[in-house]
Structure 1
Amino acid sequence: PSPFIDPNDGKLYMVFEGNVAGERGSHTVGAAELGPVPPGHEDVGGARFQVGCIGLAVAKDLSGEEWEILPPLVTAVGVNDQT
């Protein structure tokens, strides 16, 4: 996690890596999730388990004791998992 104070609003934020919410293996991965696929692509299976994301949270105050998780900045459903 990487906490920082935004100089524009003075709030404490934290960028972090995680997994998209949901039951493991329950995500649907189709053409809309994968985007353009290069020629010669081979489906090796298991894409529904790849649900990494980059998240953002904002602290209730500058103590950083309580956080509110905001919607993901980037999701990688079908592409990558949390490392």
Structure 2
Amino acid sequence: MRSVRRMDWIAEIIDSRGGTVAVAAAMEIPESTVSSWKSRGSISPGYWPLLLLLPVKRGGKKISLTQFAKLACAADADRLARDRRKTAA
């Protein structure tokens, strides 16, 4: 399995649901919260179900909660491995 780029897949999910402004409006949360997900490369698990219920734009890919959780876990494992390599060096 290829290395998961956290910010890339998170941005893709947000963009496939209309982008930062649309997601924030639909979820009734500040735009800064959605922006921080992209910059941090993670989304708090409490937001996952609502985010995944938002309609997907044409050409966007639907993703299940299980698939989302797997991506998040893989991204975290990748980040931990990078951190360990930096510490060992």
Q: TM-score range by the shorter chain?
A: under 0.3
* Greater helix proportion: 2
Which of the two has greater strand per residue? 1
- Give me the TM-score of the superposition, normalised by structure 2: 0.21
